[in-house]
């Protein structure tokens, strides 16, 4: 049964029945390599369209430029020529790709030099920080492209591949970097273009070898090994920096996600409402602009302490006062005072809703604890669980205290000191806190005596 399933899967994945004539594929790739006449004019138009789209931050225009760009031709030619060891075709493809790159850089640099708009919009910035994810896009997009070229059923894959791999925008962004003397833009965009080029070519090599495209020149084993070694070195050189940038991207996204959750948690704090916030992942800084009463140092300290709950310890918080309710108290008009009171009531309602939500959370937590206790500590017949606050005259801060009351049926089944210690250690681990207070009582006594465990 399993063998038959594998055979059926391989049958559906088989490409041999749909592969075009090898001579037709060779002629098609050879024709798309050349940049003269129609292809050259299309390249020029695509460069201008992409530059305008980046300049105006228009995604639709940039997609249009990617659709009409003929840059895929020589890149597929490079991969195909390497797979078939056709070094004459390889030199021809590299020559034409180099011409296309130089022409694109020249045209885009010239455009951005004379353009009155020089602001780096999001579409430009997106082409300056390539990562491992761009490698995956280029590799699988290139695989789709060369499979489509090799098939008799061309379909509409090639335009989709042109959009996904985005060859033209990085070149235009590099031209923007040259025109504005921002060389971090230039090198970042050029690196992204290199990633796309290399891995589209690698995908062409893989599919060409899988489909057994015929070798049209005489080549010995020594030359084959040399070519394969060259491919391996190029892959490693291009891949390593992208993995590093990908790691930085993951770390940045994780910080922004945790910081956003933290900001949501403190959006309303003791009658103060968060009006605006800014998260800077590079400097690990969060700017908080609150409306309400001016914070004292103790309140700022408690807001800072909450960062530990969201794995962003060490983040720098910058507090700013936006709308101050302290100033509103000095206003005398009835309308202004009414607005102030409405705002206060809204804040109180939100706080009450949060308290109700917390009560529901505590209720569910108590149910889960009781369910686990039944199997771990059979002597325990019932349990009371609550979260409260501990106050001390030595300090102005308050600590959250987890209060637990454990009931057993009679004094005979009461827990000994070893069982109590084991239970309290389990409770600390389960609640992930040392701030707990445990009481034990017998539940069948007429007046149950609550004994605190010291």
d(CA 130, CA 122): 14
d(CA 287, CA 306): 15
**Cβ(204)–Cβ(142) under 8 Å?**
yes
Angle at 184 (CA atoms; ends 183, 185), nearest 5 degrees: 85
Nearest to 73 by CA among 89, 53, 52: 89
> According to the model, what pLDDT value does residue 255 have?
85
In the numeric block, which tokens belong to residue 232? 């391996």
pLDDT over 50 (residue 129): yes
Mean pLDDT rounded to a whole number for the chain:
77
Q: Which range, 67-76, 119-128, 317-326, 351-360, has the best average confidence (pLDDT)?
A: 67-76
For the chain, what percent of residues have pLDDT higher than 90? 0
For the chain, what percent of residues have pLDDT higher than 70? 80
CA within 13 Å, CB half, 171: 31
> According to the model, what pLDDT value does residue 451 have?
42
Give me the residue spans of the domains in the chain: 2-219, 265-351, 361-452
Q: Per-residue pLDDT tens for 156-201?
A: 565 566 666 667 788 888 888 888 888 888 888 888 888 888 888 8
> According to the model, what pLDDT value does residue 448 have?
45
More confident residue, 390 or 89: 89
DSSP 3-state of 15: coil
**Cβ(145)–Cβ(200) under 8 Å?**
yes
pLDDT over 70 (residue 270): yes
Query: How many other C-beta atoms are found inside a 10 Å radius of the C-beta of residue 58?
Result: 15
Q: Going edge to edge, which strands form the sheet with 382-390?
A: 382-390, 399-408, 436-442, 451-452
> According to the model, what pLDDT value does residue 319 have?
83
Q: Per-residue pLDDT tens for 230-249?
A: 878 877 887 777 777 777 77
Q: Calculate the alpha carbon distances from 201 to 27, 140, 375 in Å.
A: 18, 11, 61
Q: What is the model's pTM?
A: 0.55
Phi, psi of 446 (to 5 degrees): -65, -45
Q: Which CATH class for the 361-452 domain?
A: alpha beta
Q: Per-residue pLDDT tens for 303-315?
A: 888 888 888 877 8
């Amino acid at each position: 049964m399993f063998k038959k399933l594998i055979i059926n899967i391989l049958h559906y994945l088989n490409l041999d029945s749909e592969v075009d004539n090898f001579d037709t594929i060779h002629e098609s790739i050879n024709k798309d390599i050349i940049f003269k006449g129609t292809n050259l004019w299309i390249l020029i138009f695509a460069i201008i369209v992409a530059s305008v789209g980046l300049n105006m931050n228009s995604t639709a225009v940039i997609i249009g430029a990617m659709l009409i760009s003929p840059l895929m031709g020589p890149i597929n030619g490079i991969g195909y020529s390497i797979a078939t060891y056709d070094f004459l075709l390889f030199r021809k493809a590299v020559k034409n790709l180099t011409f296309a790159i130089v022409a694109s850089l020249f045209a885009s640099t010239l455009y951005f030099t004379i353009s009155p708009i020089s602001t780096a919009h999001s579409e430009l910035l997106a082409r300056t920080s390539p990562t491992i994810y761009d490698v995956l896009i280029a590799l699988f997009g290139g695989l789709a492209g060369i499979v489509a070229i090799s098939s008799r059923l061309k379909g509409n894959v090639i335009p989709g591949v042109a959009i996904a791999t985005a060859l033209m925008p990085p070149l235009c962004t590099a031209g923007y970097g040259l025109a504005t003397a921002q060389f971090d833009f230039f090198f970042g965009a050029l690196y992204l273009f290199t990633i796309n080029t290399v891995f589209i070519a690698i995908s062409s090599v893989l599919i060409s070898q899988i489909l057994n495209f015929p070798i049209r020149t005489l080549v010995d084993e020594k030359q084959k090994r040399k070519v394969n070694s060259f491919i391996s070195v190029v892959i490693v050189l291009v891949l390593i920096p992208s993995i590093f940038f990908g790691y930085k991207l993951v770390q940045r996204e994780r910080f922004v996600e945790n910081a956003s959750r933290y900001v949501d948690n403190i959006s309303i704090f003791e009658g103060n409402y968060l009006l605006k916030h800014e998260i800077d992942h590079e400097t690990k800084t969060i700017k908080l602009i609150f409306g309400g009463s001016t914070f004292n140092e103790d309140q700022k300290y408690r807001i800072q302490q909450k960062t530990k709950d969201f794995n962003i310890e060490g983040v720098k918080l910058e507090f700013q006062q936006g709308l101050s309710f302290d100033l509103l108290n000095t206003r005398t008009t009835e309308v202004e005072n009414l607005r102030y009171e409405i705002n206060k009531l809204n804040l109180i309602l939100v706080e009450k809703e949060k308290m109700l939500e917390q009560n529901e959370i505590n209720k569910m937590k108590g149910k889960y604890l009781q369910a686990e206790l039944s199997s771990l500590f059979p002597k325990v017949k019932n349990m009371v669980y609550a979260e409260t606050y501990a106050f001390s005259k030595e300090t102005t801060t308050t600590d959250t205290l987890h209060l637990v009351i454990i009931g057993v049926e009679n004094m005979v089944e009461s827990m000994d000191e070893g069982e109590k210690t084991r239970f309290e250690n389990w409770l600390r681990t389960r609640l992930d806190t040392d701030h707990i207070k445990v009481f034990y009582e017998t539940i069948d006594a007429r007046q149950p005596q609550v004994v605190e465990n010291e």
